[in-house]
Structure 1
């Protein structure tokens, strides 16, 4: 439950921050009449994300066992790529995201005769990015989790993100976005390493990857995956009680490279200094 909760919270706040910056700038520049177009773009992006997620979930349910393992492996690899790019993209553009959105907004409203369509498209693509990132991550998590805990965690994270986003926009709450994105970014990289390890295992079970299958160690007697602690570790970090060389190697190599890139990237991994999106 914790993993989808934190991811939905992060993605939700990120999307709310984008929408808040756009809404605040429209209000400050006397263009508040364009806000209905902003909400249309948000709702269209949310609808697309739900449609893609539901379609992929229904499609996978019809697959035979090996095809399901292949689908799980492919979705996991896509999720790892998206999660990684999300962390490093936010790290790169955090300090300039407000200026970038203001510039894009001015261009959309001034550079086109169809102002409403241009604004809807701008908001749609900005929010759809966050939504589709979340869809592939949740698909990967749901496939590796049983029971309602993961969907409930995702729903709670989304609800809290909406509340936090509104509080930040209204000015009734200040959040250190720098620390928030820094620590959630590190957490996401660890989660992505676990998803990658599980994807390698899924590709093996699908018959596509049969190399380096020697078991490195076996903790099934002391910390089994189906035990209380093991199931929590498996759900959060992709823990396996008897990992193979390829599974453990994928986990360690990804995490080592990702952490080096994360800490060596120029500048502090933070969002705009103030969480008040109403500031000019």
Structure 2
């Protein structure tokens, strides 16, 4: 429940920030009459995300066992790629996202005969990106979880994200977004490592990956996956009580590489050479 809650909270706040930045800029520049077009874009993006998620879930339910394992492995790999890119994309553009959205908004509304369509499309693509990222992650989590806990966690995260986004927009709440995205990004990388490990296992069960299947260790007698603590660790971090070389290797290699990249300081901004600066 905690994993979908936190991911939905993070993704929801990202989407709320995008909509809030656009709404604030329209209000500040005296273009508040364009807000209905913004909400149309948000609605269409949400509808697309629900349609894609529901369609994939219904489609997978019709698969035989091996095809279900293959589908689970492929969705997991896609989710890992999306989650990883999401973390590093936000780390890279966090400081410039406001300026980028303002520029895109000005461009969409500048002298076009189809300003409404341009604005709807801009909001749609910005919000749909967040929605589709969330869809693939939740599919990977739901396939590894049983019962209503995961969907309930996702719903609670979404509701809280909407409330936080509205509070930030109205000015009644201040949130250290840099710190928030940094810690949730770190958590997402650990979760993604578990999804990757489970995806490797699913591909093996589907008969597609049969290399390095020796068991590294077996602690099922002390911390079984179907026990209270083991099930929590499995649901949150992809814990396995008897991992194979390929499963454990995928987990460790991914985590080491991404954590090194995550904690590596970003490159300093380039400054103009004195000789290239001209006086106004």
Q: Same fold (TM over 0.5)?
A: yes
Gap change, CA 1:270 and 1:163, over 3 Å in 2: farther
Per the TM alignment, residue 113 of structure 1 is displaced from its structure 2 partner at its CA by: 1.6
Greater length-normalized contact order (CA 8 Å, ≥ 6 residues apart): 1
Q: Does the CA contact (< 8 Å) of 1:46 and 1:128 recur in 2?
A: yes
1:265, distance to aligned residue in structure 2 (A) = 4.3
User: What residue number does 1:219 align with?
Assistant: 219
The change in CA–CA distance for 1:39 and 1:109 in structure 2 (over 3 A counts) is same
Q: How far off is 1:273 after superposition?
A: 28
Closer, same or farther: CA 269–36 of 1 in aligned 2, 3 Å: farther
**Aligned partners of 1:278 and 1:56: how far apart in 2?**
57
Instruction: Call closer, same or farther: CA 1:75–1:45 in 2, change over 3 Å.
Output: same
Contact 1:182-1:270 within 8 A present in 2 as well: no
Runs of 4+ displaced beyond 2 Å: 267-280
Report the CA distance shift for 1:179/1:274 in structure 2 as closer, same or farther (over 3 A). farther
- The separation in 2 between residues aligned to 1:221 and 1:83, in whole angstroms, is 33
Structure 1 position 278, deviation (Å)? 34
Deviation at 1:16, TM superposition (A): 0.1
Superposition deviation, residue 274 in structure 1: 32
Unaligned segments of structure 2, at least 5 residues:
none
> What's the offset of the Cα at 1:270?
19
Give the deviation of 1:112 after TM superposition: 2.4
Q: Could you tell me whether the CA contact under 8 Å between 1:25 and 1:278 is conserved in 2?
A: no
Distance 1:275 1:231 in 2: 63
Between the two proteins, the alignment pairs up a number of residues equal to 280
Matched with 1:66 is 66
Query: Structure 1: how far apart are the matches of 2:155 and 2:271?
Result: 24
Instruction: Give deviations 1:156-182, integer Å, cap 9, x for gaps.
Output: 000000000000000000011111000
How far does residue 9 in structure 1 lie from its aligned partner after superposition? 0.2
TM-score (norm 2): 0.95
1:85-104: per-residue Cα shift (whole Å, max 9, x none)?
00000000000000000000
In structure 2, the CA distance between the partners of 1:246 and 1:279, relative to structure 1 (3 Å rule), is farther
